[in-house]
Amino acid sequence: MARPKVVLDANALMLPFEFRVNLDAELARVLGACDVFVPSSVVGELERLAEKNRGAKAAVQLAAKYEIYKTARRGDVAVVHAAKDLGATVVTSDAALLRILRHERIPRITLRGRSHLILEP
C-alpha cells in the first residue's frame, strides 16, 4: 500500500518555531509513515521572509529535508494544485487556505490547541 502524501504550506513549516510543535512526530502520529512535499513557491516565499524573520530562516532549512514539488504557481494556488496532483493531505493553519481546501474536498491537517495536529473531518 502506498504511503500517504502530505503537502506543507509556509504556515506549517513555521509551526515548529512558533509553537514548538515537532512536525515529523505529529505527522507520524496522525498519518503514520508518510511522504512530505513542499511546493517550490513556498520555499521561495519563506526565503523572502527569512531576510527579516528568524523563524522563516529556520523554516527554509526545515523545508530542505523534504521533497520539493516544482511548480510555477504561487501562494495557495500552488499548495492546492500540488495536493490535487499528488493526491495529498495539506498541513496548514491558514484560515483562507483551509476554506479553499474544504471547498475542494482536499483532506486537511491543522494545529489544535497550539500543541498538536489533527486531521480535519
Q: What's phi and psi for 110, nearest 5 deg?
A: -140, 165
Task: Dig out the grid coordinates for 26 from the structure.
Answer: 505529529
CA nearest to 78, candidates 62, 65, 94, 59: 94
- Is there a contact between 7 and 91 (Cβ–Cβ < 8 Å)? yes
Give the predicted TM-score (pTM) of the model: 0.96
Q: How much is the average pLDDT of 27-39?
A: 97
Q: What's phi and psi for 82, nearest 5 deg?
A: -60, -45
The domains of the chain, with CATH numbers, are 8-119 (3.40.50.1010)
pLDDT-derived band at 112 (thresholds 50, 70, 90) equals very high
CA nearest to 78, candidates 30, 44, 121: 44
Q: What percent of the chain has pLDDT over 90?
A: 98
Q: How much is the average pLDDT of 96-118?
A: 97
